[in-house]
Amino acid sequence: MKMFKEIMSWVIPIIVGLLIALLIRRFVFTMVRVDGPSMEANLENNERVAVVKTVAIKHLSVIVFNAYRVDPDATSKNVKYVKRVIGMPGDTVSSRDGQLYVNGKQVNQRFISQFERTQGTGDWNLQGLSNKNEWSIQTTKVPKHSYFVLGDHRSVSNDSRYWGFVPAKKVLGVVKVPFWDTSATKRHNVNAIGY
């Protein structure tokens, strides 16, 4: 009996600790690795970032979502994309001369360079994109419970311009860059931008 009590005195704290860690990961935050250059220069390939599940999504929030059945090329059920929210439900979104417009107002894009803004962005609106790329939803506005997302490095980003909207149910959370992982400017461009 004494041996059992001794074993349980260290087994129970381990089990409780594991349960707490699993609950935090499931409901509060988890860590993910950025894969690819689409969010450069703010997030680098192989950079580890936190995904916070309790933060509200706003315009210009950087999110992680499960891309399976969002992007037709994402054939694995575990493919996750990191992108920036440009359009919220009900928004109109367009691009002219490298400038983004949401509901007719120009979006301040100081978080990326002029090159990243203009290369590969083109002139478009949601209706034109939905017709050109034959989205399942033909629309002029971001649908309810959905987001229109772009990568920060537009010329290399595979994003909503090609495959459409991200359903809210696919979003895993909002990206936050840990204080030890990158420069203050990059942290600000990911953690603090949003309206």
pLDDT, tens digit (0-9, with 9 covering 90-100), for 118-144 = 777 789 999 999 998 888 778 899 999
Distance from C-alpha of 109 to C-alpha of 3, rounded to nearest angstrom: 64
pLDDT mean over 133-157: 91
Confidence of residue 19 (pLDDT cuts 50, 70, 90): low
Active-site annotation holder among 38, 94, 95, 157 = 38
Q: What does residue 18 show for φ and ψ, rounded to 5 degrees? A: -65, -40
Distance from C-alpha of 95 to C-alpha of 77, rounded to nearest angstrom: 31
pLDDT reported for residue 23:
53
38 is catalytic: yes
Fold of the domain built from segment(s) 31-192: Umud Fragment, subunit A (2.10.109)
Active-site annotation holder among 61, 83, 160, 170 = 83
Spatial CB neighbours of 90, under 8 Å, sequence gap ≥ 6: 141, 142, 144
Spatial CB neighbours of 79, under 8 Å, sequence gap ≥ 6: 66, 67, 68, 71
pLDDT digits (tens, 9 = 90+) for 61-105: 999 999 999 999 999 998 999 999 999 999 999 999 878 999 999
* Average pLDDT of the chain, as a whole number: 87
83 is catalytic: yes
Return the domain boundaries, the chain: 31-192
Sheet with 146-150, edge to edge strand ranges = 29-33, 48-52, 171-176, 62-66, 80-87, 146-150, 166-167
One-letter amino acid of 130? S
